[in-house]
Amino acid sequence: MARKEIAKGIYAVGAIDWDIRDMHGYSTNRGTTYNAFLIIDEKITLIDTVKHTCREQLFANIREIIEPEKIDYIVANHIEMDHSGCLCEMMELVKPEKLICSTMGKKVLLDHFHREDWPYEVVKSNAEISLGKRTLQFLETRMLHWPDSMFTYVKEDGLLFASDAFGQHLAKSELFDDEVDFSEVMYESRKYYANILYPFSPLVKKLIGTIEGMNLDLKMVAPDHGVIWRSHIADIINAYKDWSSGKAENKVLIIYETMWESTRKMAYAINHGLAEYDNLSVSMINLKNCHYSDVVAEVLNARALVIGSSTLNNGMLPSMNTFIYYMKGLKPFNKYTAAFGSFGWSGEAVGLINSICTDLKLEVIEDGLKNKFIPDEDVLAQCVEMGRRIGEKVVAGDQQ
């Protein structure tokens, strides 16, 4: 079934992936969509393709509107395989006059598909191509989140095809932000930002400034995943401003993994100290029960991370190891951290956590609290005190 006409003569023809639950380590609990769009004009143009496993949906959606062979131009805003997985098949069938991509897009396409003979049309920022009644304007968005990434703007419709930016892994039959639950779409946007765009925050911040400076008459922002923004464009742009500038809420995460419950007891005692502050949100996150890609969605707007692990084989427990190295790659910033954990004889975990947080240039605000085997009342009281000190610092920061 063809999806919908999103503006006169412009159709959503992408695919819904209801089944996917893992996107190279990102837990896609609500599935996703691979968005592609067809513009019917004097030059019929396809914006992006879809993941190979979903190609039948794309071809069927296009065929409900026109025969694919009639497509004149294909725009490849982003080459990652969820958007180019069936590009070879599409190129063979369509034989387009132009394959429009950024400078880096051509390089990445060649590295993927090794086709020197394709009709590349390389466009730089602000370049324009007329489709007849409409004009496409391009904006290179290098490293957001790949070198090839590019936006395509349909000037006459105020429609921005934003590639992976502003996306959400959210499978929905609805197409627009105002047709779905707003809190769900904003949560999935936050999770998407945290897992995909967080390391590139300085570039995101710059890009938002560039977009605002262009004074575009934005009526729709169509990402490559999830719903299209039309009623909440300002909300998502403001959220990107907050996330890319490291704005934090009065929120503390106690993220821990425990071996024989001792580290867990310490975590609960720290929480006891934090609970004395009314205007503080605290979440206890046991990594045995939570996926690391969900946890980083909480890290994004948290003010303080209190991280605990028992020591195992001179290191951290496995889930903590996975989480902390995943988080390290996302380059979090503007956060306080503190570490704690139990041990039997060597006790390296706390030092390792502090060392990684220091490398990340996070502000380590406590020396770290270690406990040998099972914590007694004195150690638990020290944990409560540590929680109080962290809470005081977070709340004081909020009042500055």
Would you please indicate which residues are annotated as catalytic (active-site) residues? 24, 78, 80, 82, 145, 164, 192, 225
- Site residues (CB under 6 A) for ligand FEO, limited to 256-315: none
- Interface residue with ligand FEO, options 82, 157, 177, 188 (CB under 6 A): 82
Window 112 to 151, contacts with ligand FEO (CB under 6 A): 145-146
Contact yes or no for 51/17 (Cβ under 8 A): yes
What is 360-397 written as a DSSP string? TT-EE-S--EEEESS--HHHHHHHHHHHHHHHHHHHHH
Reading the block at residue 41, the tokens are 């004009």
Q: How far is the CB of 159 from ligand FEO (least distance, A)?
A: 19
Complex with ligand FEO: residue 224 or 348, whichever CB lies closer:
224
**169 near ligand FEO, judged by CB under 6 A:** no
Confirm or reject binding of residue 31 to ligand FEO (CB under 6 A). Answer: no
Q: Return the amino acid letter for 128.
A: E
Q: Is 346 exposed, middle or buried (0-12, 13-18, 19+ CB in 10 A)?
A: exposed
Helix, strand, or coil (residue 228): strand
CB of 162 to ligand FEO, least distance (A): 11
Q: How many CB atoms neighbour CB 42 within 10 A?
A: 11
Number of residues binding to ligand FEO, judged by CB under 6 A: 9
- Report in angstroms the alpha-carbon separations of 366 from 80, 104, 362, 373: 41, 45, 12, 21
Q: SS3 of 319, please?
A: helix
Q: 344-373 mask for ligand FEO (x: CB under 6 A)?
A: ------------------------------
Shorter beta-carbon distance to ligand FEO: residue 164 or 348: 164
| Closest approach of ligand FEO to the CB of residue 213, in Å | 25
Is residue 188 close enough to count as binding ligand FEO by CB under 6 A?
A: no
- Vertex 359 angle, CA 357 and 360, to 5°: 65
Does residue 17 interact with ligand FEO by CB under 6 A? no
Distance of CA 311 to the CA centre of its chain: 31
Residue from the set 225, 265, 303, 370 that interacts with ligand FEO by CB under 6 A: 225
Single residue of 30, 43, 78, 190 touching ligand FEO by CB under 6 A = 78
> Phi and psi (nearest 5°) for 333?
-150, 165
The residue within the footprint of ligand FEO, chosen from 17, 157, 164, 177 (CB under 6 A), is 164
Residues that bind ligand FEO (CB under 6 A): 78, 80, 82-83, 145-146, 164, 224-225
